[in-house]
Structure 1
Amino acid sequence: MSGARTDLPDGARVILASHNAKKLGELQRILTAAVPGLAPEQVISSAGIALPDVVEDAVTFEGNALLKARSAAAATGLLAVADDSGLAVDVLGGAPGIFSARWSGRHGDDEANNDLLLAQLGDVPDAHRTARFVCAAALVAPGGAESVERGEMVGLLLRERRGEGGFGYDPLFLPDGETRSAAELSPAQKDAISHRGKAFRALAGHVAQLLV
Structure 2
Amino acid sequence: MPAGARVIIASHNQGKLRELQRILAEMIPGFEETMLVSAAGLELPDVVEDQVTFEGNALLKARTVAAATGLVAVADDSGLAVDVLGGSPGFLSARWSGRHGDDEANNDLLLAQMGDIPAEHRAARFVCAAALVAPDGTEVIERGEMPGRLLTERRGTNGFGYDPLFVPEDQPAGQARSAAELSSEEKDAISHRGKAFRAIAGDLARLLA
TM-score range, shorter chain: over 0.9
The question of whether the paired residues in 1 share the 8 Å contact of 2:73 and 2:134 is answered with yes
Equivalent residue for 2:85, pick from 62, 87, 92: 92
Runs of at least 5 residues in structure 2 that lack an aligned partner in the other structure: none
Pair 1:43 & 2:14 matched: no
Q: Which residue of 1 aligns with 2:115?
A: 122
Equivalent residue for 2:185, pick from 179, 184, 188: 188
The question of whether the paired residues in 1 share the 8 Å contact of 2:146 and 2:192 is answered with yes
- Taking only the aligned residue pairs, the percentage that are identical comes to 74
Q: Which residue of 2 aligns with 1:53?
A: 46
> Any idea what SS the aligned residue of 1:210 has?
helix
Equivalent residue for 1:19, pick from 3, 12, 32: 12
Deviation of the 1:147 alpha carbon: 0.2
Equivalent residue for 1:161, pick from 154, 167, 183: 154
Instruction: Specify the code of the residue in structure 2 equivalent to 1:203.
Output: I
Deviation of the 1:209 alpha carbon: 1.4
Provide the rounded CA distance (Å) in 2 between the counterparts of 1:209 and 1:19.
26
Equivalent residue for 1:142, pick from 135, 145, 156: 135
Runs of 4+ in 1 over 4 A off after TM superposition: none
Instruction: Specify the code of the residue in structure 2 equivalent to 1:16.
Output: I
Provide the rounded CA distance (Å) in 1 between the counterparts of 2:34 and 2:105.
34
Q: Normalization by structure 2: what TM-score?
A: 0.95
Provide the rounded CA distance (Å) in 2 between the counterparts of 1:85 and 1:129.
19
Provide the rounded CA distance (Å) in 2 between the counterparts of 1:10 and 1:24.
17
Equivalent residue for 1:151, pick from 136, 144, 147: 144
The question of whether the paired residues in 1 share the 8 Å contact of 2:170 and 2:190 is answered with no
> Any idea what SS the aligned residue of 1:47 has?
coil
- Structure 1 residues 165 and 92, CA, compared in 2 at 3 Å: closer, same or farther? same
Instruction: Specify the code of the residue in structure 1 equivalent to 2:37.
Output: I
Q: Which residue of 2 aligns with 1:4?
A: none
The question of whether the paired residues in 1 share the 8 Å contact of 2:142 and 2:200 is answered with yes
Equivalent residue for 1:171, pick from 164, 168, 182: 164
Provide the rounded CA distance (Å) in 2 between the counterparts of 1:36 and 1:165.
28
> Any idea what SS the aligned residue of 1:59 has?
coil
Instruction: Specify the code of the residue in structure 2 equivalent to 1:172.
Output: L
Provide the rounded CA distance (Å) in 1 between the counterparts of 2:25 and 2:116.
45
Deviation of the 1:33 alpha carbon: 2.0
Provide the rounded CA distance (Å) in 2 between the counterparts of 1:208 and 1:137.
15
Deviation of the 1:41 alpha carbon: 1.1
Provide the rounded CA distance (Å) in 1 between the counterparts of 2:170 and 2:16.
24
Q: Which residue of 2 aligns with 1:205?
A: 202
What is the count of residue pairs matched by the alignment?
Answer: 205
Q: Which residue of 1 aligns with 2:58?
A: 65
Provide the rounded CA distance (Å) in 2 between the counterparts of 1:93 and 1:108.
22
Deviation of the 1:36 alpha carbon: 2.1
Provide the rounded CA distance (Å) in 2 between the counterparts of 1:12 and 1:107.
28
Provide the rounded CA distance (Å) in 2 between the counterparts of 1:156 and 1:17.
29
Instruction: Specify the code of the residue in structure 2 equivalent to 1:181.
Output: S
> Any idea what SS the aligned residue of 2:126 has?
strand
